Amino acid sequence: MDARAHALLKEAAEWRLIGRLFECPAGAWRDDLVALARDSDDAQLTSAVTHALEEASEGLYHSTFGPGGPAPPREVTYVKAIQLGYLLSELTAFYEAFSYQPVTRESPDHVSVEAGFVGYLRLKEAYAVTRGDDEQAAVTADAAATFLREHLAMLAEPLAATLDASGVVYLAEAACALATRVGPPPSAAASLPGARLLPVIQPLEDEDEIACDGTP
């Protein structure tokens, strides 16, 4: 396989892994993490998977990312002067242009959906490279760069700063891996919505779990 295509496939798997780490830990979630981690030699992501298998629960996920939680996972929280409807329309147009149809309950601006989209674009770019379609590869690469700059960069760094103080190791590591790949937000375009330095409240052992479908 072409070295460039191989590198892109590795990137795609790591982006997909990052996105999966930010999803609710239900169903085949743990099996998927293990399978995706096999294609990564990134020590931080490997560590995140190890800690996720030990720490993750649906209750912890909801106490971290749910309404009123300390770590808002949606882009809309971090952008200035933009209507939610406009943002969602823009993201939906991006996704539809590349036939991205994630199977998820999360909003289009959720960090897991956006990270998954970058992985999907890397996969499409790798496919174009293997076919020798340089034009399509360039279009896909440009789309990924634009998406990173205009969307994921809005939330990656502030989310990582919050999760670093959360006490949830696997999410802190996943967020750091994300921020490292994305970089800081444009200074004039995004701002941290207030410091949220409180740790996540761990669910009690005898506390009713909240399932990812919203049922107790």
DSSP line for 42-85: -HHHHHHHHHHHHH--HHHHHHHHSTT-SS--BGGGGBSS--HH
Question: What is the reported pLDDT for 210?
Answer: 55
Question: What is the reported pLDDT for 39?
Answer: 82
Question: What is the reported pLDDT for 82?
Answer: 75
Cα angle, residue 101 at apex, residues 97 and 105 outer, rounded to 5° = 135
Question: What is the reported pLDDT for 120?
Answer: 98
Domain boundaries, the chain: 3-182
Instruction: Give 10-residue mean pLDDT values along the chain (216 residues).
Output: 91 96 96 93 96 96 90 90 87 96 94 98 97 96 96 95 94 97 73 44 50 59
Question: What is the reported pLDDT for 207?
Answer: 45
**In CATH terms, is domain 3-182 a member of 1.10.3480.10?**
yes
User: Tokens representing 40?
Assistant: 């990564």
Q: What is the 3-state secondary structure (H, E, C) of 125-185?
A: HHHHHHCCCHHHHHHHHHHHHHHHHHHHHHHHHHHHHHHHCCCCHHHHHHHHHHHHHHCCC
- Within a 13 Å sphere around the CA of 39, how many CA atoms are in the beta-carbon half? 17
Question: What is the reported pLDDT for 200?
Answer: 52
In this structure, is the dihedral angle defined by the CA atoms of residues 16, 116, 96 and 64, taken in order, positive or negative? positive
Closest CA to 159 of 115, 122, 201: 115
